Amino acid sequence: MSARLCWGIFRERAHSPGRESDDAEILRLTAKALEARGYVVHLREPDDVDAPEGERPRHVLLMGERVALLQTLQGWEARGTQVVNTPRAVLNTYRDRMLVLWAEAGMPVPESRLVGTADAIGPVSGPVWIKRGDVHNTQEGDVVFAPTAETVTAALAGLGGRGISRAVIQAHFPGDLVKFYGVGTLPCRDGAAPWFRWFYHKDQRLAGYPFDEARLMQIARDAARALELEIFGGDAIVQAGGALRLIDLNAWPSFALYRDEAAVEIARYLDTRFTEGVA
């Protein structure tokens, strides 16, 4: 097993609705940046990860999310392969796990509850979001704004009709939607802060509520650390008065607005992680 051999595993196309090319491109650019550091990187589709024992890579750059793939890579980890993000961390982004871990960590999340899509859930107060209870958005109907009891019922029935057994009902909070990207959650060995960028989601009527950027950065890193994520992106709501509510967190996003910069930072992080164990 070569100490410099890496496999980059693309995200499943079904898990990148409308972002297939963006997700693929950040992995390609990261591979190039790692190759400039002396690594040999082979890019693989998530359905093409079988490897004879002697050809198994020393390192894996993981964007895939399906359980069967994650189980395979957990077996590789047990035999010495380093995987980032780890399969455990990716599984932790499944909403049923994520909400439990965030509750334990005291993260500022809107009121959320996990329900069965076929269950009688009782009255729902105010507008809410209905989200599938496992992976993130893969197609229309996975995340639905439900302002009335009727739309809540319809959204749950829609998920149940597709064989999705659990859903999250999450309170809606009006405000400015902020998106963020991060690489690492702890200070670097040289004392530098981990790489972090944020921006406003473009498809919204922006109120421009002021908020503490350092607080957003800390919340994002704490949330990622609770899930054991190292390369991450997510969403938060800025409310009037500057209060922040964490909405979502994803493993290895597309980094679309900062792709070139992010690829270099991810490669730097991974090089340190692979050679020294920490970044």
Q: Is the pLDDT of residue 279 over 50?
A: no
Residue 1 has a pLDDT of 54
* Longest alpha-carbon distance in the chain: 58
Fold of 111-171: Dna Ligase; domain 1 (3.30.1490)
Q: Is the pLDDT of residue 83 over 60?
A: yes
Q: Is the pLDDT of residue 125 over 70?
A: yes
Residues 248-275: what's their mean pLDDT?
94
**Token pair recorded at residue 159:** 């998920």
Pinpoint the residues of the chain covered by CATH 3.30.1490: 111-171
Residue 161 CB partners (closer than 8 Å, separation 6+): none
Residue 16 has a pLDDT of 62
DSSP characters over 121-181:
-----S-EEEEESSS---STTSEEEE-SHHHHHHHHHHHHHTT--EEEEEE---SEEEEEE
How many angstroms from the chain centroid is the CA of residue 84? 12
b/e 212-229 (16+ beta carbons within 10 angstroms → b): eeeebbebbbbbbbbbbb
Contact criterion met (CB below 8 Å) for 182 and 233: yes
CATH of 5-91 given 3.30.420.40, 3.40.50.300, 3.50.50.60, 3.40.50.20: 3.40.50.20
* C-alpha span between 134 and 102 (Å, rounded): 15
Question: In terms of pLDDT, which residue wins out, 9 or 1?
Answer: 9
**Token pair recorded at residue 28:** 């390609």
b/e 17-56 (16+ beta carbons within 10 angstroms → b): eebbeebbbbbebbbebbeeeebebebbebeebebeeeeb
Length of the chain, in residues: 279
Query: Which residues on neighbouring strands pair with residue 62, listed in sequence order?
Result: 9
Residue 35 has a pLDDT of 96
Ramachandran sector of residue 245 (left: φ over 0; alpha: ψ -120 to 50; beta: rest)? beta
Contact criterion met (CB below 8 Å) for 7 and 55: no
Residue 225 has a pLDDT of 97
Residues 8-36: what's their mean pLDDT?
86
* C-alpha span between 162 and 274 (Å, rounded): 40
Q: Which amino acid is at 43?
A: L
Contact criterion met (CB below 8 Å) for 193 and 186: no
Residue 275 has a pLDDT of 87
State pLDDT tens for residues 130-182.
999 888 766 777 899 999 989 999 999 999 989 898 999 999 999 999 999 99
3-state secondary structure of 72: helix
State pLDDT tens for residues 207-256.
999 999 999 999 999 999 999 999 999 999 999 999 999 999 999 999 98
Pinpoint the residues of the chain covered by CATH 3.40.50.20: 5-91
How many angstroms from the chain centroid is the CA of residue 70? 14
Query: pLDDT class for 199, splitting at 50, 70, 90?
Result: very high
